Amino acid sequence: DGGITQSPKYLFRKEGQNVTLSCEQNLNHDAMYWYRQDPGQGLRLIYYSQIVNDFQKGDIAEGYSVSREKKESFPLTVTSAQKNPTAFYLCASSIAVWTGGAHNSPLHFGNGTRLTVT
């Protein structure tokens, strides 16, 4: 079955350590995204990538880094510079949209990684 796999489901780290969250998809989607979810808030975009070897900052990129070396993989590193890293992190993918006009290209989500930093 095609889908998005995030691992691990739970992650615990000490303050000051970098940590990398994994996201793999076998949907053959060009575009991939990382969102952060905090209680009572909507999803906030951290980074997105529409093609291999290219990625763009989202609304809250500070303290995070990504890479896109393969189409299937879009790992997110939470660095020690991120002031409040404890959150639920969601990876998503979609068909990339390159032209204007109406396109139905919904996001498909993984099951998330809950990161706790103490």
Partner 1 sequence: GEDVEQSLFLSVREGDSSVINCTYTDSSSTYLYWYKQEPGAGLQLLTYIFSNMDMKQDQRLTVLLNKKDKHLSLRIADTQTGDSAIYFCAEIPDNYGQNFVFGPGTRLSVLP
Does 106 contact partner 1 by CB under 8 A? yes
Does 52 contact partner 1 by CB under 8 A? no
Q: Considering only residues 19, 76, 94, 117, which one is a binding residue for partner 1 as defined by CB under 8 A?
A: 94
Binding to partner 1 (CB under 8 A) within 74-93 occurs at: 90, 92
> Among residues 33 and 74, whose Cβ is nearest to partner 1?
33
Q: What DSSP assignment string belongs to 21-85?
A: EEEEE-S--SEEEEEEE-TTS-EEEEEEEEETTEEEE-TT-TTEEE--SBTTB--EEE-TT-S--
CA separation for the pair 11, 80 (Å, rounded): 15
End-to-end alpha carbon distance in the chain: 36
CA separation for the pair 77, 67 (Å, rounded): 9
Does 54 contact partner 1 by CB under 8 A? no
Binding to partner 1 (CB under 8 A) within 9-38 occurs at: 31, 33
Min dist. Cβ of residue 80 to partner 1 (A):
26
Does 42 contact partner 1 by CB under 8 A? yes
CA separation for the pair 63, 65 (Å, rounded): 7
Task: State the residues that interact with partner 1 by CB under 8 A.
Answer: 4, 6, 31, 33, 40-43, 45, 48, 50, 56, 58, 90, 92, 94, 96-112, 114
